[in-house]
Amino acid sequence: MTATRPRIVHSFGGMALAASLLVTGAAAAAAAPIERALKIELEIEGRQDWRNALQWSRATTEQRYAFSTGLRSDGELHGANLLEPDTDLRLAIKTEYLRQQGLKSLQASGIDPSSPDLQRQISSRMQQEVYDCKGQTVCMGKVNMKYARIMAAAVEPDNSELFEGPPRYRYYFGYPDCPNTIRAVHRTSVEGETAYGRKKDKLLPYRLQMEGDSSGSEQDRDSLCMSYTVVEDTLENRLYVENVNVPTATGTIKRTEFDETSQREGELPIPTVALEWVNATLRDTQPSGQARTTLPLNLPLDGNSTVLGDFTGEAKAELDWSWK
């Protein structure tokens, strides 16, 4: 359900900031934390043909992805949907939410919001904390999010009016060391002929095998924990999921071309069209469900976008998800 666009206020004073902080803090204190698990299963089975003059190939792919990740809410109900479908309104709501959270962080860090060099103090502290992360991706992501909130409190106008609707939306976020599971299986086989010589009229066999069955590295699991934001609409019983992250399989990539065979280990790509479909399906949906579709396979399955020629084919895709 799309929210009605409220009037956006573009100025604020210290009293409004203080009031917003007190209201938000009181509401959070009154609510109890809630844990949920988002579970997603995606299956892809497809065939693809490629032709470029004399060169050709035929490919098949079978891919299975099953994963779950824990998310946590402070239990508070909000009057605005953080993942509002209207793009402009969503940006305004997110900015205001960050501003409100930033006020809390400013208070906790002991920084005076009225300081004339507020932005310099914030920037200096952020740089130090990023340095202290020593290159750890999850740590730096947490620091960046923390200071995005604080900077929003420092520079953004008070648009708390956006949250004046009936409290119905509950926000869930990923968190470090959340319980999660990953299983990714990928098998792609390509056979054909490639041309060589000045006139490209001499053909040699071409083969590509990509195969992997993995349960995710520690880095994959850490990343999955921090990837998701979910909003529950408790009135309409709807679920909003932002930027679905499907963990890829890692495995063997074996390629034979021009009578030479190479083999390496690496990530095995998921068709972009499948990821786009999953994102569109879960952007605004019911809490649990299934979806089926047929997708065009018009791009190379190995992700090499430099290959010329015509790719044709299709894949049957099945998606199952639950929120418990």
Separation in Å, CA 103 to CA 6, 24, 110, 263, 298: 22, 10, 11, 53, 48
Asked if the model's pLDDT at residue 22 lies above 80, the reply is: no
CA distance 137 to 130: 10
Q: Phi/psi zone of residue 131: left (φ > 0), alpha (ψ -120 to 50 degrees), beta?
A: alpha
Cα three-residue angle 159-162-164, rounded to 5 degrees: 120
Determine which of 15-19, 96-100, 114-118, 278-282 has the lowest per-residue pLDDT on average: 15-19
C-beta separation of 86 from 76 below 8 A: no
Predicted local distance difference test score (pLDDT) of residue 8:
42
% of the chain with per-residue pLDDT over 90: 70
Per-residue pLDDT at 5: 44
pLDDT score of 316 more than 70 = yes
For 172, residues 6+ apart whose C-beta sits below 8 A from its C-beta are 34, 36, 71, 72, 73, 228, 229, 230, 231, 232
Tens-digit pLDDT profile for residues 159-198? 999 999 999 999 999 999 999 999 999 999 999 999 887 7
Q: How many CB atoms lie within 10 A of CB 154?
A: 20
- The answer to whether 234 touches 265, Cβ cutoff 8 Å, is no
Q: Distance between alpha carbon 294 and the CA centroid of its chain, in Å?
A: 23
- In this prediction, residue 118 carries a pLDDT of 83
Residues 6+ positions from 180 with CB-CB distance below 8 Å:
67, 68, 69, 70, 221, 224, 225
pLDDT band at 4 (very low <50, low <70, confident <90, very high): very low
The mean of the pLDDT values for the chain is 88
66 vs 137, residue with greater confidence: 66
What's residue 145's pLDDT?
A: 81
**Which residues, listed in sequence order, are joined to residue 89 by a DSSP beta bridge?**
none
What pLDDT sits at residue 171? Answer: 98
Q: Give the 3-state secondary structure percentages of the chain, helix then strand then coil, rounded to 5.
A: 30, 40, 30
The closest of 92, 61, 74 to 160, measured between CA atoms, is 92
Q: Give the span between the Cα atoms of 280 and 242, in whole angstroms.
A: 10
What pTM did the predictor assign? 0.80
Residue 319 to residue 317: CA distance in whole angstroms:
7
Closest CA to 208 of 195, 190, 187: 190
pLDDT given for residue 138 in this prediction: 82
| Amino acid at site 270 | I
Residues 188, 270 contacting (CB under 8 angstroms): no
Are β-strands 310-323 and 180-196 bridged in parallel, bridged antiparallel, or unpaired? unpaired
DSSP-derived pairing of the beta strands 34-52 and 310-323: antiparallel
Question: What is the Rg, in whole angstroms, of the alpha carbon atoms belonging to the chain?
Answer: 24
Q: Which residues pair with 193 in a beta bridge?
A: 56, 205
Structural domain boundaries in the chain: 1-30+80-164, 33-79+165-324
